[in-house]
Amino acid sequence: MSVEAKTDHAFDYVIVGAGSAGCVLAGRLTEDPRCRVLLLEAGGEADSDLIRTPALYAQLQDSPWDWGDRTAPQPHLLGRRIFMPQGRGLGGSSAINYMIYIRGNRADYDGWEAAGNRGWGYESVLPYFLRAECNRDLADAYHGREGPLVVSSHASGNPLVERYFAAAREAGIAYNPDFNGSEQMGVGPLQATIATGRRCSAADAYLEPARARPNLTVFTHALATRVLFRGSRARGVEYVRLGVSERAEAGCEVLLCAGSLRSPQLLMLSGIGPAAQLERHGLRVRVNLRGVGRNLQDHLHTRVRCAIRSPLTFPPLPQEAKAALRHGYEQEGTGPFASNCLEAGAFLPSRPGEAVPGLQHFFLTLLSPDYPEAGPPLRHGITLTSYINRPQSRGEIRLASANPLDRPIVDPNYLQTADDLRCAVAGVRWNLKILNASAFDDIRGEEVAPGAGQRSDAELEAFVRRSASTTWHPAGTCRMGQDEAAVVDAELKVHGVDGLRVVDASIMPTIVSGNTSAPVIMIAEKAADLLRQSSSRPAAV
């Protein structure tokens, strides 16, 4: 990598990554005019109709706003390399995700605290969910109304969603009006980070209102290459911006918010990680921290897909009809373009008597393609998908080389354990039960996957292995804890060094039972408070 050196820049905080966590920190820290903050983002601006329009999220995969990562070949998924979209641009994955707002289960956070992470139990983190949330439709003790992140319900009356609810009732599943309320189990509507028909990303919610502040500097197309140290203290970041190598000094702290794939990569490139791996790539070992990159978890989902005999789904409509709907959307912000096609779902047990649901289900009002990065569906249909909420399988992130321009090796090790496979098959069986309820009898067409007659355990296990894919929720690779395999402590400080924290999904000791976007925003809201209380904060003027 041949680059030209450039003059340093001095700030109080340098934030690496303008995703869900980085945008929150940039917004919250610059509320204090004393704090000079630099936000580094490897991607560019996220200003596009494709991003703003909820129904077009599929077109963001393998786009300029996506890193386009693939996993290493997965031995338990027939050697397949799984496509794992990750946001690359202001807003990060919150600018390209499916916009589903789910916090996880109370037991997830209580488990974090029980493992020694004081202050991370459910009652401790709930205020940060409330602080973040501006819920347009729900108002009770479990929801905030004044936060920057807009959360809303979908319009009622979708005939496919009503059939789904009726089919779930036939399957013996209780109705739950709010998965983020007092109980998680059941079937019900999903809320989304959509504001008057437009995506509300973390950049929209937190960064955009802060960009006019003189104490915030945002550099896009700036790839962090290593953390700089003075002795045992992090003192800045080296990065490449538009082909030029630059350095930024952090007078207070460096905050890594690059996500579960690239935060551990950056730590290892900076000499913090498993000594044997660093030495293999010729890197100086600053701290032998064996947990960096380990403990990778992800939500693996399997899709039951079925054609329907009525033209009730949006993607296969003729172009003329779509153009009329698009015109209405641009005028009113309503209609199919305002929906993420994920308006309902369920949390269900993976085995009888399971108190904390082992499965999360989604109902898509479209026939999903054969694989995530394929084109749009060509016929009307529905998809019922489920994923393993708390997988037991553990993978890792490894360096491909010492070159920061090389992608990390992503090896989730999906279905490493037999229980994960059992859980995945249980999710498929639940969805087949719902699909074959009488509520769908009048419109049910060809069962595309797994296919009519594919019902034995062996057949469904084979179906999972050949078709399961990621839900884009990598987590846990810079695990929070106090043991020797932990990477950060309960204040998110990296063990063994000063002035360096990790703030993103990588700090999760165990992945949450639900979508990870809202929990990452919560983590960053809590981190902002931890930084305000820190002795390293900027001095009063």
Nearest to 95 by CA among 128, 48, 135: 48
Whole-angstrom CA distances from 19 to 26, 86, 254 are: 10, 10, 16
Instruction: Say which residues have a Cβ less than 8 Å from residue 125's Cβ, sequence separation at least 6.
Output: 109, 522, 526
Q: How far apart are CA 192 and CA 53, in angstroms?
A: 13
Compute the residue count for the chain. Answer: 541
Nearest to 301 by CA among 497, 514, 111: 514
3-state SS, 297-338, equals ECCEEEEEEEEECCCCCCCCCCHHHHHHHHHHHHHHCCCHHH
Nearest to 520 by CA among 188, 248, 165, 129: 129
Q: How far is CA 372 from the centre of its chain?
A: 16
Contact 304, 431 (CB under 8 A): yes
- Residue identified by tokens 């912000």 is 333
Q: How far is CA 177 from the centre of its chain?
A: 23
Backbone angles phi, psi at 442, to 5 degrees: -75, -15
The DSSP letter of residue 163 is H
- Residue identified by tokens 């338990």 is 76
Collapsing DSSP to helix, strand or coil, 34 comes out as coil
- By annotation, the residues acting in catalysis are 473
Contact 450, 429 (CB under 8 A): no
